[in-house]
């Protein structure tokens, strides 16, 4: 199946941990773009409440949003976004069993710690959070994206985003689907950036962006100059 066919079929995006800031922001933007969104949570009650909040944010697009436990969300999504803290990967992914086998999974996870000097990269045995996701979901088609997109800016629905979203992954079709998904958000330019093993520098770079934000009271994003495609 080509990427274009997958685009036509890409009707439902599930967001594990969709109750958090990033999940809500992505969910709101996708719902606005006419994509069906399932807000996933460890608790179906929290999922329902977050879906209701999100529906309120998006107004006319509200019918595109619903909540579900993470397992039900994973089973129902054409694409599943893993949007939980790095420390929560085991708890979030272990109960899913083989529900995501053969499915496209997008890791947005940044393995970061914070101390008095600000954000810093946590060591990850697998190399990166995305590879840790892939290790825990061996049958899934894991890609990584959205690391440096601000949840605050995503939730500011009145204006377009102003970000580049490089997507890394070893499955070209899965990467193409994630690129398409990113570009459904107004103001985002997205493109394939290489294999999954390059997830670590993208994840780590977010520590620099957060440090910039703290110093300059901003929500900076990434833009790559002179990209031809
Ligand atoms: N915030 C940003 O601007 C931003 C930008 C780019 C990437 N990211 C990455 O995106 C991910 C989500 O960010 P966020 O700010 O939305 O995070 P968050 O609010 O801290 O967490 C998101 C959701 O994850 C679930 N969760 C929390 N702890 C968990 C655990 N131990 N096990 C399983 N699930 C757990 C919670 O949902 P339930 O309790 O409902 O299950 C929570 O609402 C992170 O990995 C972050 O590095 C964030």
Tokens of 60: 């006319």
pLDDT value of residue 11: 83
Q: What's the average model confidence in pLDDT over 88-115? A: 98
Entry pTM: 0.96
**Of all atoms in ligand 1, which is nearest to the CA of residue 23?**
16
pLDDT value of residue 1: 47
Per-residue pLDDT tens over the stretch 59-75:
999 999 999 999 999 99
CA of 134 to the centre of ligand 1 (A): 18
Tell me, what DSSP letter sits at residue 159? S
Residue 2 above 70 pLDDT? no
Question: Is 147's C-beta closer than 6 angstroms to any atom of ligand 1?
Answer: yes
CA of 56 to the centre of ligand 1 (A): 21
CA of 83 to the centre of ligand 1 (A): 5
How many Cα atoms are found within 13 Å in the side-chain-facing hemisphere of 75?
Answer: 9
Question: Is 119's C-beta closer than 6 angstroms to any atom of ligand 1?
Answer: no
**Of all atoms in ligand 1, which is nearest to the CA of residue 24?**
16
Q: What's the average model confidence in pLDDT over 183-208? A: 98
Report CA-CA distances (Å) from 124 to 57, 90, 135, 140, 167.
36, 13, 12, 20, 20
Q: What's the average model confidence in pLDDT over 22-47? A: 98
Tokens of 4: 């274009």
pLDDT value of residue 4: 46
* Pairing state between β 141-144 and 104-107: parallel
Question: Is 81's C-beta closer than 6 angstroms to any atom of ligand 1?
Answer: no
pLDDT value of residue 56: 97
pLDDT value of residue 33: 96
pLDDT value of residue 10: 59
Query: What is the C-alpha separation between 30 and 52, in angstroms, rounded?
Result: 15
Name the average pLDDT for the chain. 95
Cβ pair 206, 147 in contact under 8 A = yes
Angle at which helices 199-216 and 129-136 cross, to 10°: 130
CA of 87 to the centre of ligand 1 (A): 9
pLDDT > 70: percent of the chain? 96
Per-residue pLDDT tens over the stretch 152-194:
999 999 999 999 999 999 999 999 999 999 999 999 999 999 9
């Amino acid at each position: 199946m080509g990427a274009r066919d997958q685009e036509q079929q890409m009707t439902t995006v599930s967001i594990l941990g969709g109750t958090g800031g990033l999940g809500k922001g992505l969910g709101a933007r996708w719902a606005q773009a006419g994509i069906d969104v399932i807000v996933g949570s460890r608790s179906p009650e929290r999922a329902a409440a977050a879906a209701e909040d999100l529906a309120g944010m998006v107004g006319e697009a509200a019918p595109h949003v619903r909540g579900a436990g993470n397992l039900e969300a994973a089973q129902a999504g054409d694409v599943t976004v893993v949007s939980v803290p790095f420390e929560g990967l085991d708890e979030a992914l272990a109960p899913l069993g083989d529900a995501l086998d053969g499915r496209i999974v997008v890791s947005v996870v940044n393995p970061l710690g914070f101390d008095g000097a600000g954000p810093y990269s946590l060591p990850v045995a697998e190399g990166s959070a995305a590879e840790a996701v892939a290790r825990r979901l061996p049958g899934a088609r894991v890609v990584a994206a959205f690391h440096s997109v601000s949840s605050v800016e995503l939730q500011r629905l009145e204006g377009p985003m102003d970000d580049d979203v490089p997507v890394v992954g070893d499955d070209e079709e899965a990467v193409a689907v994630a690129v398409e998904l990113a570009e459904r958000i107004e103001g985002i330019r997205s493109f394939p950036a290489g294999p999954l093993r390059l997830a670590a520098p993208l994840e780590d770079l977010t520590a620099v962006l957060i440090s910039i934000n703290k110093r300059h009271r901003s929500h900076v994003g990434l833009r790559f100059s002179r990209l031809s495609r």
